[in-house]
Structure 1
Amino acid sequence: MTAEHEAGGTFSLPDDGRCRVVIEQVTPEIDGGRFPAKRVIGQTVTVAADIFADGHDELAAELLFRHDTEESWRRLPMRPLGNDRWEATFTVERLGSWFFTVEGIVDHFATWVHDLEKSYLAGEELAVEWQIGATLVSEAIPRALAGDRPRLESLAGQLRQGDDEQGLAIAGSAELARLMACYRDWGLASRYEREPEILVERRPALFSTWYELFPRSARGDGDHGTFADCERLLPAIARMGFDVVYFPPIHPIGLTNRKGKNNSTIAEAEDPGSPWAIGAAVGGHTAVHRQLGTLDDFRHFVARARELGIEVALDIAFQCSPDHPYVRSNPEWFRWRPDGTVQYAENPPKKYQDVIPFDFETAAWQPLWDELLAVFRFWIAQGISLFRVDNPHTKPFAFWERTIRHLKREHPEAIFLSEAFTRPKVMYRLAKLGFSQSYTYFSWRNTRPELEEYLTELTRTDLREYFRPNFWPNTPDILPEFLQYGGRPAFAIRYLLAATLSASCGIYGPPYELFVNDAIPGREEYLDSEKYELKRWNWEAADTLRELIGRINRVRHDNPALQENGPIAFCRSDNDNVIGYLKMTDDRSNILLMVVSLDPFTPQQAEIGIPLDRLGVEEGHPFLVEGLLTGERHIWHRQRNQVRLDPATVPGRIFRLRPRLRREHDFDYFM
């Protein structure tokens, strides 16, 4: 391609002016190819593009795609959708980076066939047309495989005979169309100037169910827990259907400015401090808190979790206690004030007197970045490939892009969850540059309009190509107001929403199971937070949400429609306290209708409108409805149906819809 200049910058002209096809508006392409779109193994990538040329000639287009390790392109024909839009779909079956591009050409043979039909219908003389067609077929012979050449020669010879009846039959035959499509001349093809990337990750990057646990409270009796104590909790967590156990930082905790209960700046002797105040004389980010156990004990826990089908995720928090070994070994990695002290971390009005931040603008930034990359590598070597990253939005974008790209090249199995409750554009940039999943604003979306607007943004815009939400109803930092006043039903409602609106979800586990809702007055934070003290969780409590959470998670694992973040179809509801929405697989083999009350206090009833046309169901035709949480069955006939929800029992329903289909023997059956 030849570069030319215009007022807006540079553009490219084809090297050969006979390349007439224009290719533009290619999707998926993030920021002009600057960032990759995302998929997981086994998913498809549907590539679409506007492809057109001057005049009225017929066109042909192909999708080219390859894995990063492959030298040659694989090719697929693209199909026209109308209005010059074309598309094709390929499946990604390996981890790592895939690339694609698009080629288009003027298809002179297809143009000849099209014009021939019009000339014949107009009663025109066709003698010259047979010679043109024969020439086009003959030109394909040198490009053909040896086995197909005799047939092409024969067909070209028959066209040259000039017999209208015979020629029309040959020109319109599927055989000749197939041969000419196989051996098109792509020498004058236009190729899209970029090769957009698709980053392919493991399935848990898209579909995962997280359970957050402070290992130091695993005993439940007030004594400091250990990794061995956590092992005893794993079977119950597995029975609830969680496939990820996430630990806050497990490193030594500093003594200087250690926090006491409820974030007090004065700690008592027995106060354990915040796990996020990382580092003491015995070690830092690659050390294990001695009261939790040894590194061998941790590896044993990881292996036991794996036996139960659970992955372990670790918190990566790039900050230090003033006692961290880095402060003495590498003082140049921190910003020192004129009085010789280091400014502790702040996020006004919050103050973190027990934490000092790294100076990412230090002149020694490269050794610092390399060291933090090595922290990830260390934990990957211990069997960890899931990381929840603390406050990534307070570190440079370039640092994360460099770090994650390095790690993805070395360990494509690694998955990164971004904990960035910040401005949307910052959250989206972090997702673009490599984070696999992201915390979201779900915790503060409570009303039906808020939920519908937010989920439409996440699932029906370009965000779905690179931003994967992970919905958390609570975290150690966040106890939303809805949970504070709604009691047990509020916890049931929010988990039901989180688990069915997003393919990935999580809970800060023990207080969620036990629907703990004691908050600091006037704030969305836990009173007596586990961040600053050991908790005596009643692991044997009878009145918990475990059974309901387990049922919901089993539904998630049994129904592929809940394992994707595809577009959600919101249903009409005549009651704003009730939200209804549909999720389905592309082939409609799994269709789920969720109806959830947004009122934790009062029974609610709503008439829910189902878009039957999208399900292939005619109004008045019966279809089976199964309640996957409650076991009830119904036969519905209409688009609008009444659903009653009681917060005292189950404040929502997950229905599987089984539309009735008709087969060739003219009998009906339910899917």
Structure 2
Amino acid sequence: MTEHSTTTAQSRPDAPASASSGIDRSALARFGQEPLGRIPVLDVEPVVDGGRRPTKAVTGEIFTVTATVFREGHDAVNATVVLVDPDGGEHHVPMTCTNPGLSHWQAQVHADREGVWTFRVEGWSDPYATWEHDGTIKVEAGVDVELMLEEGARVLERSLDADEHTEVDREVLEQAAHTLRRSALPVADRLHAGTSPEVEAVLARTPLRELVSASPSTTLLVERPLALTGAWYEIFPRSEGATQDPDTGLWTSGTFGTAQERLPAIADMGFDVVYLTPVHPIGSANKKGKNNTLDADELDPGSPYAIGAAAGGHDALHPDLGDFDDFDAFVARAGELGLEVAMDIALQASPDHPWASSHPEFFQIRADGSIAYAENPPKKYQDIYPVFFDNTPDAVYAEIRRVIQVWIDHGVRIFRVDNPHTKPVNFWQWLIADVAQDHPDVIWLAEAFTKPMMMRTLAKVGFQQSYTYYAWRSTAAELREYVTELATETAPYMRPSFWPTTHDILTPYMSNGGVTAHLVRSALAATLVPTYGIYAGFEHVEDVPRPGAEEHVDNEKYEYKNRRWDEPADGRPDLSGWLTMLNRIRREHPSLHWLRNVSFHQAEDENLLVFSKHGGGAGDGSAQDTVLVVANLDPYAVRGSRLHLDLPALGLSWGDRFRAHDLVTGATWTWDDAPYVELGPGYGHEPVHIIHVTTA
């Protein structure tokens, strides 16, 4: 990133913009107008809700700032992005006019550390560019020669007022001004002295900026990289190490100790986050049985989302899992392996929850005096009460904030929030901001499969990440449209997390497509967006749906499950190697760490999805990594097609040929803009190419 670390005397935004800056502008306010600066600066992006919400980025993430900047007449105008770091230091990034006819300017910027930044766009008059243009034309035409050369010398002398010039740069400008006035020299030599590449370079580094006019400042919240990029792995702790007596059929719950034994395998597959479904005591009132039935017996464990029993509520651990020493040991071991622990926060309560007796005002009371169950008519969730925020909001807010602090104090820095769209948005806005005051590294993931406006608003008020509609976007056209929206329209504030399956979701594509569907959807999730997740059991292609529902049969929410990780596969699919490969590719290719750099290409067969990621690196644009993905979305048949690649989107020029190294198979080809590919279902004829693009 090219930047100027300070602002010249001529560029101060608070300097008088014109002789009329003292004019009473109350008439503008009367008509609801904001006064324009001397140089109009309009349409600055990315700005969220007119600047009322912060624009988001992570450290090193490159994003594009755009604006419309122009001025009256024919004098040259220029523009700069000014990033202001958390300590108040200013970093100037020159903008480029990409469409002179529309006065469209842009610059790629990034922030190099976490914290609350701001950015603004400054438009300014460029006296040197004006003189260089006019002076060259007039002098070469023999018009006003001496006058134009003198005016050039004076422009260079004005630019010497900047304190930021080095001694070498100052000498370049002084010598050029002196030469412009040397009447004994040929006119062409004098003009060249004022327009030389050396002079242009000095004034590009430290320009003479006059009539500087600034846009309003926009807040830029810069967070740690895991807020944007990470690979998640979900487990039910009670299933990890659970055992069943072969004679009686009785189960013994897994514990934090046995779940800890699974961590090395998760880390070896290359995941960054191990996500735990709720680990709290489970109520027995109206407990759900296998496959969400209402006839549970005393040996059924119940749903971990029915939180609360005599052993405690949201601030307690299920006794079967262990105590806080065991939990702390689990978190510590995860950290040793390079994993962070994400906890599930489900703000609902079993009828046995301590809140039900000590704080009945935390729930909605019906006309008959009973507490309202959770409902999504005609569905009823008889094992849980939803928290109600409107009776005593201050008390509810304070209690939930206390609960969150319990887990923060035990080393948790990531919270996956269950159904946040069923709670007040302003509560989340307050909670996330309050936690961030002392713990700015905490990350919140919204599990909100709901209306787009609610999902977007949750992101705007603080959630760093969000589940998405990815599971239900299965055609190439659907995926192109949806990912384009995520990478452009909502990217300044919403970070998508793609999951092929979850403990709640098993789509027909996944249940009908077998191994190939699992290969394709995990590869797409891992490469289309920076954060994706895998639910345990995916490796063994658990794909049988419960009749009448898009979820797994014998659902782990309602029973123990032993996936026999320590036993040979015995003919069962094992995709752990595939997931390991995907995570290795993600780590080794920085272009996959970003969201906004995706480009889509064409295939003659609509069953093929073709896209690329270009850029990445350390944030300064120096490392230009390029990955091209071609996926056969048809899980049942081999598909062959000619591709039509946008070579500039790959960092190449039209007509180039390039080296295409397939990171899946290890094969290497030389491709042009129209290669033919053939992809098939299953192992041995993989349905996905993940291509590292390099020059041929």
Is the 1:616–1:659 Cα contact (8 Å) retained in structure 2? Answer: no
Residue pairs, 1:565-580, within 5 angstroms: 565-580=595-610
Answering whether residue 555 of structure 2 is matched by residue 526 of structure 1, we say: no
Structure 1 residue 130: Cα displacement: 4.1
1:40 to 52, 55, 58: 58
Answering whether residue 661 of structure 2 is matched by residue 644 of structure 1, we say: no
1:227-262, CA deviations, whole angstroms, 9 ceiling, x for partnerless residues? 000011112222222221111111111222222222
What is the aligned partner in structure 2 of residue 88 from structure 1? Answer: 107
Is the 2:604–2:642 Cα contact (8 Å) retained in structure 1? Answer: yes
Is the 1:45–1:92 Cα contact (8 Å) retained in structure 2? Answer: no
In structure 2, distance between residues paired with 1:489 and 1:135: 71
User: Counterpart amino acid of 2:241?
Assistant: R
1:170 to 193, 201, 218: 193
Q: Residues 224 and 650 from structure 1, CA distance in 2 versus in 1: closer, same or farther, beyond 3 angstroms?
A: farther
Q: Please identify, of 514-523 and 607-616, the stretch whose mean Cα deviation from structure 2 is larger.
A: 607-616
What is the aligned partner in structure 1 of residue 69 from structure 2? Answer: 51
What is the aligned partner in structure 1 of residue 588 from structure 2? Answer: 558
1:20-58, CA deviations, whole angstroms, 9 ceiling, x for partnerless residues? 200011121112112222221122343221111111111
Is the 1:596–1:651 Cα contact (8 Å) retained in structure 2? Answer: no
Residue pairs, 1:472-487, within 5 angstroms: 472-487=499-514
Identity %: 40
What is the aligned partner in structure 2 of residue 250 from structure 1? Answer: 279
In structure 2, distance between residues paired with 1:597 and 1:149: 60
Residue pairs, 1:183-262, within 5 angstroms: 188-192=211-215, 194-221=216-243, 222-262=251-291
Residue pairs, 1:115-514, within 5 angstroms: 115-144=134-163, 156=177, 159=180, 164-165=187-188, 167-177=190-200, 188-192=211-215, 194-221=216-243, 222-362=251-391, 364-459=392-487, 461-510=488-537, 512-514=538-540
Structure 1 residue 538: Cα displacement: 2.1
Is the 2:347–2:386 Cα contact (8 Å) retained in structure 1? Answer: yes
SS of 1:596's partner is strand
In structure 2, distance between residues paired with 1:4 and 1:601: 70
In structure 2, distance between residues paired with 1:110 and 1:654: 49
In structure 2, distance between residues paired with 1:365 and 1:359: 8
User: Counterpart amino acid of 1:29?
Assistant: V
User: Counterpart amino acid of 1:604?
Assistant: R
In structure 1, distance between residues paired with 2:140 and 2:492: 47
Structure 1 residue 617: Cα displacement: 5.5
Is the 2:503–2:552 Cα contact (8 Å) retained in structure 1? Answer: yes
Is the 1:210–1:246 Cα contact (8 Å) retained in structure 2? Answer: yes
Structure 1 residue 600: Cα displacement: 2.5
Q: Please identify, of 327-336 and 296-305, the stretch whose mean Cα deviation from structure 2 is larger.
A: 327-336
What is the aligned partner in structure 2 of residue 665 from structure 1? Answer: none
Structure 1 residue 113: Cα displacement: 2.8
User: Counterpart amino acid of 2:38?
Assistant: R
Q: Please identify, of 46-55 and 627-636, the stretch whose mean Cα deviation from structure 2 is larger.
A: 627-636
SS of 2:261's partner is helix
Structure 1 residue 288: Cα displacement: 0.9
What is the aligned partner in structure 2 of residue 547 from structure 1? Answer: 577
SS of 1:189's partner is strand
What is the aligned partner in structure 2 of residue 606 from structure 1? Answer: 641
TM-align CA RMSD: 2.7
Q: TM-score, normalised by structure 2?
A: 0.87
What is the aligned partner in structure 2 of residue 595 from structure 1? Answer: 630
Answering whether residue 117 of structure 2 is matched by residue 98 of structure 1, we say: yes
In structure 2, distance between residues paired with 1:67 and 1:42: 13
Is the 1:420–1:438 Cα contact (8 Å) retained in structure 2? Answer: yes
Q: Please identify, of 181-190 and 627-636, the stretch whose mean Cα deviation from structure 2 is larger.
A: 181-190
In structure 2, distance between residues paired with 1:77 and 1:576: 41
2:88 to 54, 59, 71: 71
SS of 2:34's partner is strand
Is the 1:628–1:653 Cα contact (8 Å) retained in structure 2? Answer: no
Structure 1 gaps of 5+ residues are 661-669
SS of 1:495's partner is helix
SS of 1:388's partner is strand
Q: Residues 576 and 166 from structure 1, CA distance in 2 versus in 1: closer, same or farther, beyond 3 angstroms?
A: closer
Structure 1 residue 383: Cα displacement: 0.9
Answering whether residue 670 of structure 2 is matched by residue 635 of structure 1, we say: yes
User: Counterpart amino acid of 1:268?
Assistant: D
Structure 1 residue 4: Cα displacement: 5.1
SS of 1:216's partner is coil
Q: Residues 550 and 8 from structure 1, CA distance in 2 versus in 1: closer, same or farther, beyond 3 angstroms?
A: farther
Is the 1:253–1:289 Cα contact (8 Å) retained in structure 2? Answer: yes
SS of 1:80's partner is strand
1:30 to 44, 48, 51: 48
Q: Please identify, of 520-529 and 125-134, the stretch whose mean Cα deviation from structure 2 is larger.
A: 125-134
Structure 1 residue 155: Cα displacement: 5.5
Q: Tell me the number of residue pairs that the alignment of Structure 1 and Structure 2 aligns.
A: 652
SS of 2:136's partner is helix
Q: Residues 181 and 204 from structure 1, CA distance in 2 versus in 1: closer, same or farther, beyond 3 angstroms?
A: closer
Q: Please identify, of 439-448 and 81-90, the stretch whose mean Cα deviation from structure 2 is larger.
A: 81-90
1:87-140, CA deviations, whole angstroms, 9 ceiling, x for partnerless residues? 333331211221111222222343233222222133213333344344444445
Is the 1:612–1:639 Cα contact (8 Å) retained in structure 2? Answer: no
User: Counterpart amino acid of 1:522?
Assistant: G
In structure 2, distance between residues paired with 1:139 and 1:560: 44
In structure 2, distance between residues paired with 1:174 and 1:648: 58
Structure 1 residue 526: Cα displacement: 2.0
SS of 1:341's partner is coil
In structure 2, distance between residues paired with 1:624 and 1:150: 47
User: Counterpart amino acid of 2:554?
Assistant: D
